[in-house]
Structure 1
Amino acid sequence: MRAPRRFRSTKHGFRRVLQRLLSAALAGVEGSPRPPSSAAPAAHEAKGVDGRMRKGAWYGVEEPVKCQRPECLRCLVPVTRLFSLFGLLPMRVVDGQFRFVLCHFLTLYACVVAAALTWFSLTRVVALFAATGPQDWVQLLTGTTFYLLGATGALLLLQLARKLPAVLERWADVERQVGVRDSCKWKVLVCMGVVTLSAAGETTASMFHNVPENTTGNFWLYLETYVRTGHKYEVDLLGYSRALGLAILTINKYATFLWNFVDVLVFSVAIVLLHLVRAFNAKLQNGCATFDPIGWRDIRRDHLALLTLVQSLNASLGPLVLQSYLTNIFFTLVQLYFGLSHEHELSFFSKLYLTWSFLHLLGRLAIVSFSCALIHEESYKGISCVLEIPENRYSLEVWRLEHQIRHEVIGLSGCGFFLVNKSFILATTGALVTYEVILLQVSGGTATNT
C-alpha cells in the first residue's frame, strides 16, 4: 500500500535533517574525511544541468587538495619512483609528501646496491695496483673512475634521501607563499624520457662494443666474452665463473643507471626551481605598480624565503652537482680521445658506440648546464621593475628588496666550488677543448716515439 504524499514528504524532510545533523557532527571530529558544514553550499552549487548532485560532491575534498599539491612534489614523484626501481634515493610518498623510512625495503635495497658498488670499486682499485706488464692504463683508469664515481654517487643519494624530505617541505611552503599557478611537469618528463632512451641505446651499443663481431654461441658464451673483454683485470684477480659474470653485468648496469640519473635528478630540480623563480618574478612585475609598504615587505619576504630555499638545496644537492660535472667532463674527454686517437682501429659498432656516447654526454651536460644557468639569469630579471619605481613611491622596503636581488646569489652550485651560470659554461667548454688538444698531442707524440 502506497504511503500518502504528506507522509512521504515528511519522511524525506526528516531524513534530510538527520543527514545534515550527522554531517555537522562528523565535521567537528578531528581527522574526519568529510568537509565542514560550510562546504554544504559548495556542494549544492556542484549540481549538474539535470539538477542531480555530482558524484563525490559532498566528499570531493581530495580533488582540490590534489590540484593544490605543490609543484615540486608533482614533478619529482616520477623521478624518485624511477630511482627506487634501481635501489637509489629510497624515499616513499606518504599522504602526498616524501618520507625517508629507515626500516623499509627501499632503504635496505639502497644499502645493498651501495655496498655492491663499493665492493666492486674497491676490487677495481686492487686490480689497478695488481696489474703487471704492459697494460692499457687509460682504459684501466677509466673503468676504475667509473665504478668509484658510481659507489660515491650511491652513497651520496642515500645521504640525500635523509635530507631531501625536509627541504621539499620547505619548498612546498615557499610555493604556497609565492603562488605557483601553471605546471612544468611535462618539461621534466620530456627531458627525463629523452635521457632515459638515449642512455638505454648507449648502454646497448657499449655491449656490442665490448663483444667481438665473430662471437657466436649461447647467452653464457656472450656473457663470458663481454666480461673478459671489458673487465679482464677483475677476471685475472678473481677468476671467471658464471655467478661472477652475472654479478659484474648487474653491477655495471646499476652503475650506468646511476651515472645517467644523477644528471636527471639535478636538471629535474633545476627545472622546477626555475619555474618557482619565474613565478616570483611574475608576482613582482604584476604588483610592482600597486604595492604599498606592506606589499613590498611581503614580496621581500618571499624573495628571502626563496633565497633560503636555494641555500638549503645547495647544502643537500651540492655534492651531486659537483660529481655530475666531474663525471661528465672526464668521460667526455675520454670518449673523444678514444674516438679520435683510435679511429682507424675501430669496428663499425665501436665507432657507433663512441659517437653515440660522446653525443649523449654532451647532451646531458648541456641540459644540466643550461637548466641550472637559467636560474641564475632569471633571478636578476626582477631588478628592472624595481628600478622603475618613481621617487615618490620609493621606500626602505624597496631599497632592501633591491639590495637582496643585487647582492644575494640565487643559483645551484657544486659545494661552493663553482656557481653554474653562463660564464661557467664558457669556462667549461674552453677547458674541454684545451685538455682534449693536450691529450691528442701527448698520444701523438707517444705513438711517434714508439
Structure 2
Amino acid sequence: MISERLKCLSSDYLEMWEFLSTMTNIFKMAKYFGIPTYGGAFSLLGAIVMLAMLLIMEIVSIWKLIRTLNGWNLNPNGSVVARLSGSIFYGNALLSLILSWKIISNWKTLVSFWKRSERLELNIPPDRRIRGRVIFVSSYVAICAAVEHALSMVSGTGHDCPPEEFFERYILSSHGFLLQRSEYSLWVAIPIFTLSKLATVLWNFQDLIIILISLGLTSEYSRLNLFVQRVVVFETKMKYHNRVISLPLRVKIWRNLRQAYVQQAELVRKVDQELGGLILLSNLNNLFFICLQLFLGISVTKGSDINRIYYYFSLAWLLYRASGVVLAASDINIHSKRALPHLYSCVSGAYNIEIKRLKTQLENDDIALSGLGFFYLYRQKLLEVAAAVVKYELILLQFDKH
C-alpha cells in the first residue's frame, strides 16, 4: 500500500514538471534562429554575427529615416511610414534577440525556483493536459506565422512573378525603404533576406514565450484552486455526516495551502522580473503594427486580390496574437482570485484562522505580469488598447478627409 502511494506521488511529481521540460525543449530549438544558450560554440558565433548584422541594419534604417525626414532622399519608395516601420521592425528584432537570449539563459535558475515552489506534501493533482496545450499553441503559432509570411512574399511579388525575378522583386518590394533598384545586388540582398526571416521568427517567438509561460503559471493556480475546492467539499461532507476532523490536522492543511499560494505569488513576481522587458517590447510593437495595418487598410481595396487576402489574414493574425498575449497573461490575475468563492462557502464548523489568513491574502495580494511596471496585464487592458486604437484610426480618417 505504501509502495503504491509512493509510486503515485512519484508519477504526480513527474507530471508536475512536464511543462518545464517541454519549455526547455522549445528553448533548445531557439539556437536555430540566433539564441545560442542551448547550443555550442558555433551557435554562439552565429548569434554574435546575427546581433551585429541586426545592429548594422537598424543603424542604416534609422539613417535612411533621418534622411527622409530632412528631405535629403528622393527615393519614391522611401516614405516616412515605410522607413519608420522598417526601423521599428528591425529594432524590435534586435531587442527581442537580446531579451529572449537573457530569458533563456536564466531559464535554468527560474526552473529551480519553480520546482521549489511545489508543495508535494499537499499531494496536489497534476495538470496532465499542460504539455498538450503547450505543444498545440506552439504548433498553431508556427503554422499561422508561416502562412502569414508566405502570403506576404506572394503579395510583395505578385502571383505571376517569373521565378528568376522573384528574389529581386521581393527584396525591392519589402525593403524599398532601404534599397533602390540601382543599389540592388545579390550580395546585399542575401543578408537582408536572411535577416528579415530571422526578425520575423523572433517577433513571433517573443509573443510565444509570454503566452506559454503564462499558461504554465495559470496551470499552477488552477491546480491550487482545484485542491482548495476539494478540501472545502470534503469538510462540508464531514460536517453533513456529523464527522469531525481534528483541528490541528485541518489547520496544518490550510497552513500548507496558504504557504503554497505565497510561494506561487513569489514565482509570478520572479517570472515578471524576467519577462517584464519582453512584455513591454511585445505590446508596444504589436500596438504600432496594428495601427499601421489599419492605416494601410484604408487603401487596400485598390490592390490586387492577393494583396487583399494577405492584408486581411495579416491583420487578423496580428490582432489574434496580440490579444493572445494579453489574455494569456491576464489569466494569471484571474486565477489568482478564483479560490475566494470556495473559501466564502466554507462551512462555519470548519472555519479556522488559516482560512481567514488565506482569504485576506488572496483578497489583498494583486498578482499580475507587467511591462516593467509601466502597466499590468489585466483583462480590461485589452479593451483600453482597443479603444486607443479606434481613437487613433478615427483621427487618421478625419485628417484623411482634408
TM range (shorter): 0.7 to 0.9
Please say if residues 127 and 237 of structure 1, whose CA atoms lie closer than 8 Å, have aligned partners that are also in contact: no
Stretches of structure 1 lacking an aligned partner (at least 5 in a row): 1-40, 46-59, 93-100, 446-450
Question: 5+ unaligned residues in a row in structure 2: which ranges?
Answer: 236-244
Aligned AA for 1:310? V
2:378 paired residue among 410, 421, 445: 421
Q: Which residue of 2 aligns with 1:239?
A: 183
Give me the whole-angstrom Cα distance separating, in 2, the residues matched to 1:70 and 1:175.
Answer: 10
- Per-residue CA deviation, residues 8-44 of structure 1 (Å, 9 max, x unaligned), is xxxxxxxxxxxxxxxxxxxxxxxxxxxxxxxxx97xx
Contact kept, 8 Å, 1:373 with 1:420, in 2: the verdict is yes
Is 2:158 the counterpart of 1:201? no
Instruction: State how far apart, in whole Å, the 1-side matches of 2:385 and 2:265 are.
Output: 26
TM-superposed deviation, 1:280: 0.7
Aligned to 1:181: 126
Give the corresponding residue for 1:84: 31
Relative to structure 1, the CA distance from residue 261 to residue 331 in structure 2 (aligned partners, 3 Å threshold; closer, same or farther) is same
Instruction: Indicate conservation of the 8 Å contact 2:172/2:181, yes or no.
Output: no
2:258–2:358: 8 Å Cα contact kept in structure 1?
yes
Distance 1:364 1:140 in 2: 24
The one-letter code matched in structure 2 to 1:77 is T
**Does 2:278 align with 1:335?**
no
**1:444: which partner in 2?**
401
Residue type of the alignment partner of 1:358 = L
Question: What SS is found at the alignment partner of 2:368?
Answer: coil
Aligned residue for 2:111? 168
Q: What corresponds to 1:159 in structure 2?
A: 102
Q: Which amino acid aligns with 2:65?
A: L
Aligned length: 374
User: Which of these residues, 276, 279, 299, is aligned with residue 321 of structure 1?
Assistant: 279
Distance 1:398 1:176 in 2: 17
- CA offset at residue 338 of structure 1? 1.0
CA distance in 2: counterparts of 1:270 and 1:223, whole angstroms = 39
Match of 2:58 among 99, 121, 136: 121
1:371 pairs with one of 294, 314, 328: 328
1:211 paired residue number: 157
The answer on whether the counterparts of 2:27 and 2:104 sit within 8 Å (CA) in structure 1 is no
Q: Say which structure, 1 or 2, has more relative contact order (CA 8 Å, 6+ apart).
A: 2
Contact residue 71 and residue 272 of structure 1 kept, 8 A: no
Report the CA distance shift for 1:85/1:358 in structure 2 as closer, same or farther (over 3 A): same
Match of 1:7 in 2: none
Conservation of the 8 A alpha-carbon contact between 2:82 and 2:177: no
- Structure 2 residue aligned with 1:75, among 19, 22, 28? 22
Q: Contact between 1:110 and 1:158, CA under 8 Å: does it hold in 2?
A: no
Task: Report if aligned partners of 1:124, 1:234 keep a CA contact under 8 Å in 2.
Answer: yes
User: Does the alignment pair 1:111 with 2:56?
Assistant: no
> Cα deviation per residue 1:247-276 (whole Å; 9 max; x = unaligned)?
000000000011111111111111111111
* Identity among equivalent pairs (%): 26
> Deviation of residue 404 (structure 1)?
1.3
Moved more, 293-302 or 70-79: 70-79
Shift of 1:281: 0.7
Q: Which amino acid aligns with 1:119?
A: I
Point out the more displaced range, 391-400 or 79-88: 391-400
Q: Distance in 2 between matches of 1:172 and 1:238?
A: 58
Q: 1:172, CA displacement in angstroms?
A: 2.0
Deviation of 1:213 after TM superposition, in Å, equals: 5.5
1:25-424 alignment to 2 at 5 Å? 67-68=14-15, 70-88=17-35, 90-92=36-38, 104-131=41-68, 132-133=73-74, 135-177=78-120, 179-183=124-128, 184-212=130-158, 215-218=161-164, 221-236=165-180, 239-288=183-232, 289=235, 292-339=250-297, 341-424=298-381
Structure 1 residue 214: Cα displacement:
5.6
1:104 to partner: Cα distance:
4.0
- CA root-mean-square deviation: 2.7
Secondary structure of the equivalent of 2:65?
A: helix
Rounded to whole Å, the distance in 2 between the matches of 1:120 and 1:170 is 38
One-letter amino acid of the counterpart of residue 263, structure 2: A
Equivalent residue number for residue 33 of structure 1:
none
Look up the SS of the partner of 1:175 in the other structure: coil
Corresponding residue of 1:36: none
Instruction: Specify the SS of the correspondent of 2:118.
Output: helix
Partner-residue secondary structure (3-state), 1:292: helix
**In the alignment, residue 175 of structure 2 is paired with which amino acid?**
H
Q: How far apart, in 2, do the equivalents of 1:254 and 1:155 lie?
A: 13
Q: SS at 2:106's partner residue?
A: helix
User: For the residues of structure 2 that align with 1:115 and 1:443, how far apart are their CA atoms?
Assistant: 40
For residue 12 of structure 1, what is the aligned residue in structure 2? none
CA contact (8 A) 2:290 2:315 kept: yes
Give 1:300's aligned amino acid: R
Report the CA distance between 1:121 and its aligned residue. 1.2
Q: AA paired with 2:150?
A: T
Q: Residue 14 of structure 1 aligns with which residue?
A: none
SS in 2 for 1:235: coil
Distance in 1, Cα, partners of 2:47 & 2:119? 32
Alignment of 1:1-40 (within 5 A): none
2:117 is paired with a residue whose SS is: helix
**Greater Rg, structure 1 or structure 2?**
1
Amino acid at match of 2:26: V
Structure 2 counterpart of 1:185, which letter? Answer: R
In structure 2, C-alpha distance between the alignment counterparts of 1:354 and 1:278, rounded to whole Å? 38
Q: In structure 1, how many angstroms separate the alpha carbons of the residues matched to 2:337 and 2:37?
A: 34
